[in-house]
Amino acid sequence: MRTPIIAGNWKMNNTVEEALSLVRELKETLNDVKDREVVVCPSFTALYAVANELKGTNLKLGAQNCYFEDEGAYTGEISPVMLKDLGVEYVVIGHSERRTYFNENDDLVNKKAKALLQKGLKPIICVGETLEQREAGETETLVRKQVFRDLDGIEPYQLKDVVIAYEPIWAIGTGKTATSQEANRVIALIRATIKEMYSEKEANTLRIQYGGSVKPGNAKDLMNQRDIDGALVGGASLKAESFEAIVKY
């Protein structure tokens, strides 16, 4: 059995005080959840404060990005060492917004994944297609290519600490959502790719989330699919009530 994992990606939202207010609400409603992992991913400026607020709870701390070097002259970047020092456990990498707005590619995502795993952190690796690629029938080819490149050189024993998030780019922040059946179909393809790269054992144990306009109204249907192990939640994670409803689908 794969433990479901629901992660809230707050993106570039919430001041420190707003982040603390939100996480205090989440502590009251979600700290008793024990059969699934719940992760909150604030912006960098709120990580320290939120980390302190989460101590002694069941909620896990995630970051929204990192660089692959431990230290050095990389102005504006944050290293895995710094994140681990704060108590971060999960790190989202390869998010479509990073790929689209900041030109991040699979080679960079792969370097980040390796650096995180080396430091004992758990990458949430995002893959997914644009609307144009979907309409051109390129979904399967593109997603397989991303998985192969993003996991290149990662050893089988390390996969226990890897989460993959399938996020069709056309469904992020648009209000559109892949049907639960379509999302499951692509995630099953990702699982088959893992089997091809590694073995059936790794394919059956690797957790794969869906991300793309996940809301309280569609969370249960998505999570009831055979191959979907969780959700990477954007806008709906900014309100305690809606995020709670998703977590408790």
Q: Give tens-digit pLDDT for 115-159.
A: 999 999 999 999 999 888 888 888 999 999 999 999 999 999 999
The per-residue pLDDT of the chain, averaged, comes to: 95
Q: Which residues are catalytic?
A: 95, 167
Note the pTM of the prediction, 2 decimals.
Answer: 0.96
Q: What is the pLDDT of residue 132?
A: 84
Domain total in the chain: 1
Least confident piece of the model among 115-124, 136-145, 171-180, 211-220: 171-180
Q: What is the pLDDT of residue 135?
A: 83
Neighbouring CB atoms inside 10 A of 147's CB total: 24
Residue 239 has pLDDT above 90, yes or no: yes
Domain containing 240: what range? Answer: 5-247
Q: For the residues 80-85, what does the mean pLDDT come to? A: 98
Residue 164 has pLDDT above 80, yes or no: yes
* CATH number, position 28: 3.20.20.70
Q: What is the pLDDT of residue 212?
A: 87
Ramachandran bin of 154, using left for φ above 0, alpha for ψ from -120 to 50, beta for the remaining angles = beta
Contact criterion met (CB below 8 Å) for 217 and 247: no
Q: Which pLDDT tens digit goes with each residue over 20-77?
A: 999 999 999 999 999 999 999 999 999 999 999 999 999 999 999 999 999 999 999 9
For every residue of 49-113, DSSP letters joined together read HHHHHHTTSSPEEEES---SSSSSS-TT---HHHHHHHT--EEEES-HHHHHHS---HHHHHHHH
Q: For the residues 13-20, what does the mean pLDDT come to? A: 98
Q: What is the pLDDT of residue 133?
A: 85
